[in-house]
Structure 1
Amino acid sequence: MTHSRATGHTPFFMVYGAEAILPADLEYRALRVKAYTDQGNKTYLEDTVDQLDEARDVALLRSAKYQQAMRRYHSHHVRGRAFSVGDLVLCLVQSNKNHHKLSPPWEGPYIVAEVLRPDTYKLKDADGQVLTNA
């Protein structure tokens, strides 16, 4: 029932082309329910079927615009980090196998052993053993 900021429509509308009617609206005879007639509904459906593709295209454009704005915000507010040899770093756990939901999402600390290229590092643990991708 809540309009998405990205599309401007409810998910129900995006699927079915009409707004959902809640059981409470039926029970308490909301204005939409009172104004319902079979003949008016048929003409309304014919009109909305023609406009549904246009509404979905507009929603697609709004979604793209929203994603661009989010990407721009993220790029503006997130700082890149570069590590040098000898820095201590934590690694994100790639597999949740044998982990429960309260397990820490990070493992380490590891020491940067070598900078292979920007944002790519060779790491070693506290014992000096170089980590390999398992």
Structure 2
Amino acid sequence: MLLQGLKPRIFNWLNKFSACWVAELPVVLWSLRTTPSQATGYTPFFMVYGSEAVLPMDLDYGAPRIRAYDKQGDIASHQDAMDQLDEARDIALLRSAKYQQALRWYHGRWVRDQAFNVGDLVLHLMQSDKDCHKLSPP
């Protein structure tokens, strides 16, 4: 997933700057951590910290949850959030199990096993890896 996020961001610079991916890595990691997972329905940030991340855009434009923040009730709301986090983790565990079952069903229904014997003809694509590295397009 990291490579899928990095390639479009640095594709034009691959030939000129081979180490520019280091500057783009934090942005890609942030986007992965704040994107809801298809398996659990929650963001990885929420699963770890118990609340959604405050994005810079929320601070700039005064999102409703930023305006509704109350420093006095922070301790009580933190305890409620921890209780909700445990419940959310249980829900995420159930969703993840359901997602894995659906993947297993799909694989069992549509993916067929291939058995190869010695002497069978197979198509083998030979690509030149001259001047290529792991971020080069296939």
Residue matched to 1:88: 121
Greater relative contact order, per chain length (Cα 8 Å cut-off, separation 6+): 2
CA distance in 2, matches of 1:21, 1:85: 58
* 1:7 and 2:33 aligned: no
Residue matched to 1:36: 69
Residue matched to 2:92: 59
More strand as a share of residues: 1
CA distance in 2, matches of 1:49, 1:78: 42
CA distance in 2, matches of 1:20, 1:84: 53
Residue matched to 1:46: 79
* 1:27 and 2:60 aligned: yes
Structure 1 unmatched ranges of 5 or more: 92-98, 105-134
Which structure has the larger Rg? 1
SS of equivalent residue, structure 2 residue 52: coil
Closer/same/farther in 2, CA of residues 23 and 87 from structure 1, 3 Å limit = same
CA distance in 2, matches of 1:16, 1:70: 28
Closer/same/farther in 2, CA of residues 60 and 29 from structure 1, 3 Å limit = same
Letter in 2 for 1:58: I
More helix as a share of residues: 2
Residue matched to 1:71: 104
Write out the 4+ residue segments of structure 1 that deviate beyond 3 Å after TM superposition.
83-86, 99-102
Post-superposition offset of 1:2: 2.1
Letter in 2 for 1:55: A
1:16-57 per-position Cα deviation (integer Å, ceiling 9, x unaligned): 000111111111111111111112332221111122122112
RMSD: 2.7
CA distance in 2, matches of 1:56, 1:32: 22
Structure 2 unmatched ranges of 5 or more: 1-33, 125-131
TM-score for the superposition, normalised by structure 2: 0.60
TM-score for the superposition, normalised by structure 1: 0.62
Count of aligned pairs: 99
CA distance in 2, matches of 1:49, 1:100: 44
Greater mean alpha carbon deviation, residues 54-63 or residues 36-45 = 36-45
